[in-house]
Each structure stands twice: as C-alpha cells, then as structure tokens.
C-alpha cells in the first residue's frame, strides 16, 4: 500500500486502541514508537496497557505485511492474516471504539444544532 494509506491506517489504529484501552483497562504506560514503512517514518506516543500494547504491535506488524493493494477492510478480507484469537480481540476493540466515536460525533452535532 502507499505510504499515505499506511499512515492513515496506523493513526486509525492508534485512535481506536487509545479509546478502548482508556475506557476498559488500567495501568497504561506511555510507549514511544518509531515505525518505518518504505520511505515513511512515523514517530508518536501512545498510552496502553501491556495487553493492548501487544495487540497494537501485532496489528502494526500485520498492516506492514498486508499484501493487498488496495487493502480491504480486514473483516472483509478473503485471506485474513490474523490468528483467530487476535482477530476476535481486534473485532471487539474496533466495534467498541467505533461506537464511542460514532456517539461522540452525533453528540457534538446535536450540541451545535441546539446552540
Ligand atoms: Zn488496554
């Protein structure tokens, strides 16, 4: 995939992981990352617990190795590269944070209208 796409995917993962972990878990620590992909270097920090950290790194690794271009949504991929257990964890996380994000968007729209 293109670097731009990769970057977008990484930052989406970052957002979803942060929301999930902060709502569900405790004992996060700040982890600095330097992720390299082709000509790209992504430098950021994310607060995660150990469990999420492991899954996050797994997800980044899988993303790097994704042979599909354009990358489909993992859920719709014909050849999912995730192990079953990890796939389940990931689906739960994405669903949870997706709902949270969706809800907060709706709320802020609603607020703007009523002001
Ligand atoms: Zn966590």
pLDDT tens profile 17-65: 999 999 999 999 999 999 999 999 999 999 999 999 999 999 999 999 9
Ligand 1 centroid to 18 CA: how many Å? 8
Average pLDDT, the chain: 90
Instruction: Count the neighbouring beta carbons within 10 Å of the beta carbon of residue 14.
Output: 19
Q: How far is the CA of 95 from the centre of ligand 1 (A)?
A: 15
3-state secondary structure of 69: coil
* CA dihedral sign, ordered 60, 62, 67, 69: negative
pLDDT value of residue 111: 63
pLDDT at 51: 97
pTM for the predicted model, two decimal places: 0.86
Does residue 49 contact residue 32 with C-beta atoms inside 8 Å?
no
Who surrounds ion ligand 1 at CB < 5 A?
21, 25, 49, 52
pLDDT tens, 54-71? 999 999 999 999 988 888
The answer on pLDDT for 108 being more than 80 is no
């Amino acid at each position: 995939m293109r670097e731009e796409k990769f970057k977008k995917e990484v930052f989406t993962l970052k957002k979803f992981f942060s929301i999930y972990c902060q709502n569900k878990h405790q004992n996060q620590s700040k982890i600095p990352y330097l992720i390299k992909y082709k000509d790209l270097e992504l430098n950021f920090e994310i607060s995660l617990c150990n469990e999420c950290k492991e899954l996050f790194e797994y997800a980044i690794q899988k993303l790097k190795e994704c042979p599909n271009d354009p990358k489909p949504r993992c859920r719709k991929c014909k050849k999912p590269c995730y192990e079953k257990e990890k796939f389940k964890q990931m689906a739960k996380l994405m669903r949870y944070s997706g709902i949270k994000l969706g809800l907060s968007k709706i709320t802020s729209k609603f607020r703007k209208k009523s002001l």
